[in-house]
Chains A and B, each alone.
Chain A
Amino acid sequence: MALPRLNAVAGYRLAGIAVALAIWEALGRFMGDALFAPLSAVAVEYVGMLRDGQMLRELAASLRQMLVGYGLALLIGIPVGVAMGRSRIVDALFHPWLSMLVVTSVAALVPLFVLVFGTGFWFRAAIVFVASVWYVMLTVYHGARGIEARFIDVGRSFGTRSLQAFRKILLPALYPFLLTAARIGLVHAIRAMVVAEMFVILGYGGLIYRAGFSISTAPLLGLLLSLMLVGVAANALLQHAARLAAPWYEERVAPASAPRL
């Protein structure tokens, strides 16, 4: 069970990707364009979609709206999460609502939000916000709660004041959790963006919904491919940032996919 060497790992990764692409092509040829278009057909279609420009235009517009909701979720989720992690009273006051809201299905909120906000910009930003803010809060909360008391004790023995202690001790210890929270939040934000837009058939989600009615599944797979690239790129970027901010922490950062609820 010894860990394979690094270049061996890269080899296995490439092999895995190659196998997956081969399976896609074979399965696609077997099932046909109408059920599941093969890689070759999607590649041709994708080039056409890139040239046409509508896909990228809609994607950029949808992501801009998503970023507003996501940004608000970070702006509110992070400080509340820190406060909950560091103060027992704040924790007791907020935790019941956090536990309830984090398990509430986002899709269930969509019809209500349409009634309240309409189908425009604020509706989509609000759905993205409520889909990601609780996960951001929860991740930051666990991070802030886990900071070892002795770090703060050391600071106190050196005479730090509370603001200084926050900036010099708490914040650096929190970096990796902030970035994990940003990653988890982003996964949920992108999902919520698509749910909201598919429901009202607008924006990028609207494109996906309408592509479902075309004879071939190649355009649909092309749209999913772009979404996949955005998600993977954003995740890699945030992971890289986490490594730069706190390389010593890496193994302690929770995987983005497994938030503690």
Chain B
Amino acid sequence: MRALGTVALAAISIVGGLALWEVAARGASAVLIAPPSVVFARLATDVAAGPVLPALAGSLAQLAVGFVLAVATAIPLGLAIGRSPKVAAMVEPVLNAIYAVPPVAMVPFLLVWFGLFFPARAALVFVMSFFEILVTVAAGARNVEPSLLAVGRSFGANRRELVARVVLPASLPFLFAALRVGLVRGINGMITAELFFAAVNLGGLMKQGAQRFDTAGLLSIIVLLCLLGLVAQEGLKAMEKRALPWHFHA
């Protein structure tokens, strides 16, 4: 009954919010903000017969390259940092300092190192998700229950077994959190790169929309990116639920 009420309220909230947007947009001048009815119709036609799907495919290609590289490097590094207090003490101040620099400020460097096109865009995705994954995985590996490690040790596990059989499974919830945060940041990096390097793919469509004062076009891409973020987030959550059912029962 409670769950049903929550779903009903959520539906009311979404419908109500969209209605509010519609009324507000129709009240304002059409140039300022397009109403949702126009935006969704636009998104549908642009997806069906327009430039959106090829652009999305191009965007996703650089997202995939940057994100996979970030995952492959940040997870082992994060585990190493989290499991060794000495390494953690050494790298933490440096990592915190680097983390304080907005990744978008790396754009001028990436431009010099990688040029204006695909490698630079993948590199920005990498930079933006790498640190997020690293810091989260390190925190997870540090927070492993000492009693779990003690049990492993009493059963005669060596260091390698301890990492593979205790530390890794115990930090899986953090690992999934890291993937979620990292992927959402990666999507942010993907669109940031397309707006700040040569404007292509979805970013190119946005720049065109901005030049034509076409808020419906701009908003349709924003809605698409929001849906992409939701799919990434909820998809990883669903995978987490299947992989770690114990975590969700707790």
- For residue B104, which residues in chain A have a CB less than 8 angstroms away from its CB? 107, 191, 194-195, 198
Question: What is the CA–CA distance of A126 and B131 in the complex, to the nearest angstrom?
Answer: 26
Question: What is the CA–CA distance of A116 and B34 in the complex, to the nearest angstrom?
Answer: 11
- B residues with a Cβ closer than 8 A to A are 2, 5-6, 9-10, 12-14, 17, 31-33, 83, 85-86, 89-94, 96-105, 107-109, 111-113, 131-132, 135-136, 139, 149, 174, 177-178, 180-181, 184, 187-188, 190-192, 195-196, 206-207, 209-210, 213, 215, 218-219, 221-222, 225-226, 229-230, 232-233
Contact of A109 with B92 in the complex, beta carbons under 8 Å: no
Rank and list the top 7 A-B pairs by shortest CB-CB distance, nearest first.
Answer: A212-B108, A231-B100, A103-B229, A16-B90, A92-B9, A12-B89, A107-B192
Selected from A13, A116, A260, the residue in CB contact (under 8 A) with B90 is: A13
Any chain B CB within 8 A of the CB of A106? yes
Question: What is the CA–CA distance of A35 and B112 in the complex, to the nearest angstrom?
Answer: 7
Contact of B100 with A227 in the complex, beta carbons under 8 Å: yes
Subset of 7 A-B contacts with CB under 8 Å: A3-B85, A8-B89, A88-B6, A190-B102, A195-B104, A258-B139, A261-B177
- For residue A208, which residues in chain B have a CB less than 8 angstroms away from its CB? 105, 108
Q: Contacts A92-B9, A105-B225, A112-B222 given; indicate if A13 touches B93 (C-beta within 8 A).
A: yes
Any chain B CB within 8 A of the CB of A162? no
- A residues with a Cβ closer than 8 A to B are 1, 3-4, 8-9, 12-13, 15-17, 19-20, 34-36, 88-89, 92-97, 99-101, 103-112, 114-116, 187, 190-191, 193-195, 198-199, 205, 208-209, 211-213, 217, 220, 223-224, 227-228, 230-232, 235, 255, 257-261
- For residue A16, which residues in chain B have a CB less than 8 angstroms away from its CB? 89-94
Contact of B226 with A224 in the complex, beta carbons under 8 Å: no
- For residue A111, which residues in chain B have a CB less than 8 angstroms away from its CB? 195, 206-207, 209-210, 218
- Return A59 CB to nearest CB of chain B, in Å: 13
**A223 nearest in chain B by CB position:** B105
Contact of A198 with B107 in the complex, beta carbons under 8 Å: yes
- For residue A93, which residues in chain B have a CB less than 8 angstroms away from its CB? 9-10, 12-13
Contact of B86 with A96 in the complex, beta carbons under 8 Å: no
Question: What is the CA–CA distance of A115 and B136 in the complex, to the nearest angstrom?
Answer: 36
Question: What is the CA–CA distance of A213 and B108 in the complex, to the nearest angstrom?
Answer: 8
Question: What is the CA–CA distance of A15 and B6 in the complex, to the nearest angstrom?
Answer: 53
- Return B17 CB to nearest CB of chain A, in Å: 6
- For residue B221, which residues in chain A have a CB less than 8 angstroms away from its CB? 108
Question: What is the CA–CA distance of A258 and B141 in the complex, to the nearest angstrom?
Answer: 13
- For residue A101, which residues in chain B have a CB less than 8 angstroms away from its CB? 226
**A94 nearest in chain B by CB position:** B13
Selected from B14, B98, B206, B225, the residue in CB contact (under 8 A) with A96 is: B14
- Return B230 CB to nearest CB of chain A, in Å: 6
- For residue A255, which residues in chain B have a CB less than 8 angstroms away from its CB? 135-136, 139
- Return B114 CB to nearest CB of chain A, in Å: 11
- Return A8 CB to nearest CB of chain B, in Å: 8
Contact of B184 with A261 in the complex, beta carbons under 8 Å: yes
Q: Contacts A12-B89, A96-B10, A111-B210 given; indicate if A228 touches B177 (C-beta within 8 A).
A: no
Question: What is the CA–CA distance of A194 and B105 in the complex, to the nearest angstrom?
Answer: 7
Question: What is the CA–CA distance of A10 and B98 in the complex, to the nearest angstrom?
Answer: 19
- For residue A198, which residues in chain B have a CB less than 8 angstroms away from its CB? 104-105, 107, 196
